[in-house]
Amino acid sequence: MREQLLKLQSSVLSEKQVVDVGALACHVHGEHLGDWSGGLAYIDSLFAAHPAMSNDARIRLSRQRTILLKASGTSCEVDSFDISDYFHIITLAVPAAILMGNPTHGLDIFGEALALLPQSPDIERHERLLGVMTANLTCDLIERQELSPEQKTILAIVAEKSFAIWQQVGNDFDREKASFRLTQAYIAVRKPAGYGSGRYARSANIES
């Protein structure tokens, strides 16, 4: 992923592509690498290489930068963003903080997003965004081989909230998937430490 981003950095990009690449850089550096400073430097390089971008593109790119700052626990200026932009920022900062930063900080941001949702000028769209984020985060945590007690607690909280959201905003298939993810989450929470695959070695327990 890092190599792909470096290649894109030196490519000729349209304004839309600049915004899309900034979002990809934020996702990769935040949720996969936990490289906050690397992500910030990459986005800053996009600003420097495209000084004539529109104000809308500049705001969208600034959102990606602020997501990384928020996820890392760094103090950041947010007064220039409206409620919709800020909701977007804190919602996408949650998985980066929980997966690659301080999980407790991530849970705090999650609470902030839930508290802000009723004030949103577009509740339906933002509730769905929250549903997508919690669904993906639930899957990311379930797929980990081992979870700390803190991560297990967070997984249960996120999966239960995700389930509730999809009951409201989803179709039948969305609700079915949410129910299955919740079941998987409960299994992952109950998985004993050191469980591995759950198998016993054949040579030591069957053939001996």
pLDDT in tens, 74-99: 999 999 999 999 999 999 999 999 99
Six token digits for residue 191 = 């998985």
Tokens of 111: 């609470």
Q: How far apart are alpha carbons 145 and 186 in whole angstroms?
A: 15
Distance between CA 103 and CA 167 in Å, rounded? 26
Q: What is the DSSP letter of 192?
A: P
pLDDT for 145: 87
pTM: 0.91
Q: How far apart are CA 140 and CA 128, in angstroms?
A: 18
Q: Is 130 left (phi over 0), alpha (psi -120 to 50) or beta?
A: alpha
Quote the DSSP letter at residue 175: H
Dihedrals φ, ψ of 21, to 5°? -65, -40
Tens digit of each residue's pLDDT (9 = 90 or more) over 19-36 = 999 999 999 999 999 999
